[in-house]
């Protein structure tokens, strides 16, 4: 094993081990204190879960559930050790997190000797303020999760499963971990103002990047939410909307901090107040008027009606009732506070607009413009349209490098202006000779330049456009990746073949993605709007009535998002199946040119029709007869043993899919083998490669079935039988391989 590690790796491990030993020696006399802190965190979490936290979680979970859903909701333990092991696991994690800072503090001497202790010039009081701000943001994110997100989310998810006929019986392990994970994700997401402001202030990521890439940030928020929140559209919006608001707030704070650092003399709050005192006073008066109108007219009744629909225990009390003071005094206090807040918001807006006139160097943009007046290279190309780009002098384009030109073109495309993007790239290409001449002059001082008007004219005539430029860039990348080797006998050649096939699909990517999304969204919508319950009722109606009684058989959701997650997975599967024939059709010419297949691409219609008939026929056979018989046998066997049957929705529906669509797949294997023989794969190759096919099927069975040898063979053996049937059918059709349906393809020969 040691030979597998190089010297640098072994040295790194040795240094790390020495550092740990030094830290333990440095903190040796204080290890008891560290252990006491760990024990406090462990025991405190252990008992807090049982005495407080689980009751709090349950109250939040049930707060927005309908009465009949709340009565059926329960938290269950799947094994006798679930509760105590969960307490110990969470307590252990919290104890270690609490004890780690204490241990690092006591071992700071060893870390300082090795240069690992941070030597920051930032005063401790500033670090304390940053830490407190981070804690407040984390608490704010968690408060939003428990006050708004969790009640609405659990009410919706439990109601959705209940309406489809599934009991919300959450596993205590899955339920607790789900809530804690989402709480942490909300708390970390709430750190966005601190993160963006810190990165901008330290100039690790410029403020202008956060400002200009806001579209990418919004997409990233939805993608981040797809991993840390339920995949239904309502909770996605509830996740993303606060983050978008936080992003806007973060940009404002970063703008103030960065501009203050770049040129603090540009910010003058008193002068801003004097310049806009009338608007600020109007905002203050408007705040008082809004509060008076809210409490005097029907505002409080309308607001309480909205709160009832969101959370039944929320109410807005009449003015003064909560404070025990006269209503007029309460309205005056509330109005004054609201007026001050509105005035501060208006002041912040005016400060922000004044900061827009400050450039990245902290100087006035107008002053910079006056200084650059008459300098063609100072022309801001991002402010010009297509006509302005074509009319601009050559100097700004000569001063550009390729990444800057591509960035300008990308920005124009993001702004739905491809004409401007094309004009930028055309002008950049037109000035290539001048730019090369300038580079040569800078390199060796040679003032003589060469031009190639014919090449320039040819480029103008062909007008390669954005797509060809991207192709040229990808070709260069491919040459670097394959080291210039394009033979089909090496890895570079195979990579070239794969990229050639993918290249034929690139122009059809919009159709492929659109088809995938249409089928996926259609399937998801049907299940989402009641199809899941319809499918359950229809299938159970095909089983004996005495076996589907609620006292005998119940289908539960152990995880809050189990039902929705099953819909998403199945919808993605349907979308992928819908796209496969299109991929085969569009890739067929490339496969034929490389010698993998024979015949016209229209043969895909025959393939799709034959495979669809086999799949649908097997599905109907399995749904009407095989799947009900198998599940009825399993249920009857458990009933005979006097057992209460509770199936997870995920296991129940995938069992139905495997015993219905699985029958169709078995029927399609012989059909696919015949079609492959017609496409140029000979019978002898399929017969001689049965060992490789067996290993591939065993691998697929191990990946798609539970970690159990018996179930792996239960999946693999029927597939091998279907493969043997296909070989037998081909033996008869091809007369033992002497008359294949088509000559072997070039790839095989």
Q: How confident is the model at residue 263 (pLDDT cuts 50, 70, 90)?
A: low
714 CB-side CA count, 13 A = 12
State the DSSP H helix or E strand holding residue 553, giving kind and residue range, or none if neither.
Answer: strand 553-556
Examine residue 239 and state whether it is found in any structural domain, yes or no: no
pLDDT tens, position by position, 459-475: 444 344 444 444 443 44
- If asked whether residues 442 and 567 sit together in one domain, one would say no
Q: Which residues pair with 171 in a beta bridge?
A: 76
pLDDT tens, position by position, 696-741: 888 777 666 655 566 677 778 888 888 999 999 999 988 888 888 8
H, E, C per residue of 80-104:
CCHHHHHHHHHHHHHHHHHHHHHHH
> Is the per-residue pLDDT at 253 higher than 70?
yes
| Structural contact between residues 644 and 556, judged by C-beta atoms closer than 8 angstroms | no
Domain ranges, residue 413: 372-463
pLDDT tens, position by position, 405-454: 777 877 777 676 778 878 888 888 787 777 777 666 665 554 443 444 44
Examine residue 17 and state whether it is found in any structural domain, yes or no: yes
pLDDT tens, position by position, 145-186: 888 888 888 888 888 888 888 888 899 998 998 899 889 888
Q: Could you say which of 624, 656, 688 is where a domain stops?
A: 656
Query: What confidence score (pLDDT) does residue 57 get?
Result: 92
Query: What confidence score (pLDDT) does residue 492 get?
Result: 45
pLDDT, average across residues 360-367 = 48
- If asked whether residues 516 and 649 sit together in one domain, one would say yes
pLDDT, average across residues 105-114 = 74
Examine residue 473 and state whether it is found in any structural domain, yes or no: no
- If asked whether residues 696 and 602 sit together in one domain, one would say no
Mean pLDDT, rounded, of the chain = 76
pLDDT tens, position by position, 471-519: 443 444 344 434 444 444 444 455 677 777 777 787 788 888 899 999 9
Examine residue 264 and state whether it is found in any structural domain, yes or no: no
For residues 456 and 434, give the distance between their C-alpha atoms in angstroms, rounded to a whole number.
12
Structural domain count, the chain: 5
Examine residue 247 and state whether it is found in any structural domain, yes or no: no
Examine residue 469 and state whether it is found in any structural domain, yes or no: no
pLDDT tens, position by position, 608-630: 888 888 888 888 888 888 888 88
DSSP 3-state of 123:
coil
pLDDT, average across residues 538-558 = 81
Does 132 or 407 have the greater pLDDT score?
Answer: 132
- If asked whether residues 651 and 515 sit together in one domain, one would say yes
Examine residue 728 and state whether it is found in any structural domain, yes or no: yes
- If asked whether residues 445 and 344 sit together in one domain, one would say no
Query: What confidence score (pLDDT) does residue 480 get?
Result: 40
> Is the per-residue pLDDT at 346 higher than 50?
yes
- If asked whether residues 356 and 389 sit together in one domain, one would say no
Examine residue 280 and state whether it is found in any structural domain, yes or no: yes
- If asked whether residues 514 and 651 sit together in one domain, one would say yes
- The residues, any chain, with a CB within 8 Å of residue 60's CB and separated by 6 or more, are 146, 150, 151, 154, 179
Q: Could you say which of 366, 398, 428 is where a domain stops?
A: 366
- If asked whether residues 599 and 638 sit together in one domain, one would say yes
- If asked whether residues 446 and 532 sit together in one domain, one would say no
- If asked whether residues 543 and 651 sit together in one domain, one would say yes
Lowest mean pLDDT among 21-35, 371-385, 441-455, 536-550: 441-455
- If asked whether residues 310 and 390 sit together in one domain, one would say no
Quick count: other Cβ atoms within 10 Å of Cβ 458? Answer: 10
Query: What confidence score (pLDDT) does residue 434 get?
Result: 74
- If asked whether residues 387 and 436 sit together in one domain, one would say yes
Does 23 or 522 have the greater pLDDT score?
Answer: 522
């Amino acid at each position: 094993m040691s030979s597998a590690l190089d010297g640098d790796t072994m040295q790194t491990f040795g240094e790390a081990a020495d550092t740990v030993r030094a830290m333990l020696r440095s903190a040796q006399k204080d290890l008891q204190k560290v252990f006491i802190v760990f024990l406090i965190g462990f025991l405190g979490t252990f008992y807090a879960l049982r005495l407080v936290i689980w009751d709090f979680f349950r109250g939040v979970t049930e707060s927005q559930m309908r009465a009949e859903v709340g009565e059926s909701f329960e938290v269950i333990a799947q094994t006798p050790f679930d509760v105590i092991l969960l307490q110990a696991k969470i307590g252990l994690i919290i104890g270690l997190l609490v004890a780690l800072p204490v241990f690092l503090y006591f071992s700071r001497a060893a870390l300082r000797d090795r240069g690992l202790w941070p030597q920051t010039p930032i005063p401790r009081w500033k670090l304390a303020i940053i830490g407190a701000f981070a804690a407040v943001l984390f608490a704010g994110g968690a408060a939003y999760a428990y006050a708004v997100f969790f009640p609405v989310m659990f009410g919706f998810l439990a109601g959705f499963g209940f309406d489809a006929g599934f009991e919300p019986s959450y596993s205590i392990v899955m339920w607790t971990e789900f809530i804690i994970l989402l709480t942490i994700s909300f708390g970390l997401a709430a750190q966005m103002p601190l993160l963006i402001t810190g990165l901008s202030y330290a100039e690790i990521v410029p403020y202008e990047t956060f400002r200009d890439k806001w579209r990418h940030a919004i997409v990233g928020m939805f993608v981040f939410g797809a991993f840390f929140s339920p995949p239904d559209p309502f909770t996605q919006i509830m996740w993303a909307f606060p983050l978008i608001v936080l992003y806007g707030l973060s940009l404002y704070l970063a703008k103030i901090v960065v501009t203050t650092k770049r040129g603090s003399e540009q910010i003058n709050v008193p002068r801003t107040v004097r310049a806009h005192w009338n608007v600020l006073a109007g905002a203050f008066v408007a705040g008082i008027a809004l509060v008076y109108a809210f409490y005097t007219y029907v505002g409080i009744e309308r607001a309480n009606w909205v709160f009832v629909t969101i959370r039944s225990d929320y109410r807005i009390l009449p003015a003064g009732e909560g404070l025990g003071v006269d209503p007029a005094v309460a309205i005056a206090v509330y109005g004054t506070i609201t007026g001050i807040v509105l005035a501060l918001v208006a002041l912040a807006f005016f400060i922000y607009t004044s900061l827009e006139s400050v450039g990245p160097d902290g100087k006035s943009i107008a002053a910079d413009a006056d200084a650059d007046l008459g300098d063609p290279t100072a022309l801001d190309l991002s402010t010009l349209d297509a006509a302005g780009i074509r009319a601009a002098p050559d100097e700004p384009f000569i001063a550009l490098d390729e990444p800057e030109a591509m960035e300008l073109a990308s920005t124009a495309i993001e702004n739905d202006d491809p004409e401007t993007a094309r004009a930028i790239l055309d002008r950049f290409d037109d000035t290539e000779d001048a730019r090369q001449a300038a580079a040569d002059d800078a390199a060796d001082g040679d003032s003589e330049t060469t031009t190639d008007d014919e090449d320039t004219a040819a480029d103008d005539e062909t007008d390669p456009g954005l797509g060809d430029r991207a192709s040229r860039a990808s070709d260069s990348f491919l040459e670097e990746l394959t080291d210039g080797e394009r033979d089909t006998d090496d890895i570079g050649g195979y990579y070239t073949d794969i990229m050639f096939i993918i290249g034929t699909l690139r122009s059809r990517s919009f159709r492929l993605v659109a088809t995938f999304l249409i089928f996926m969204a259609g399937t998801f919508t049907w299940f989402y709007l009641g199809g899941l319950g319809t499918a359950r009722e229809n299938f159970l109606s095909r089983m004996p009535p005495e076996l589907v009684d609620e006292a005998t058989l119940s289908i539960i959701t152990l995880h809050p998002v189990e039902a929705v997650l099953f819909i998403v997975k199945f919808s993605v599967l349907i979308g992928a199946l819908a796209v496969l024939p299109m991929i085969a059709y569009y890739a067929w010419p490339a496969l034929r040119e490389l010698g993998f297949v024979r015949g016209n691409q229209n043969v895909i219609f025959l393939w799709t029709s034959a495979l669809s008939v086999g799949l649908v026929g097997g599905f109907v056979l399995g749904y009407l007869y095989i799947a009900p018989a198998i599940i009825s046998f399993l249920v009857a066997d458990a009933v005979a043993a006097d057992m209460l049957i509770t199936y997870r929705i995920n296991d129940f529906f995938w069992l139905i899919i495997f015993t219905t669509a699985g029958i169709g797949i078995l029927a399609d294997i012989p059909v696919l083998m015949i079609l492959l023989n017609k496409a140029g794969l000979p019978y002898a190759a399929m017969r001689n490669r049965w060992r490789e096919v067996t290993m591939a099927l065993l691998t697929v069975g191990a990946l798609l079935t539970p970690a159990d040898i018996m179930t792996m063979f239960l999946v693999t053996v029927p597939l091998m039988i279907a493969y043997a049937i296909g070989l037998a059918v081909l033996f008869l059709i091809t007369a033992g391989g002497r008359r294949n349906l088509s000559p072997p393809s070039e790839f095989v020969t």
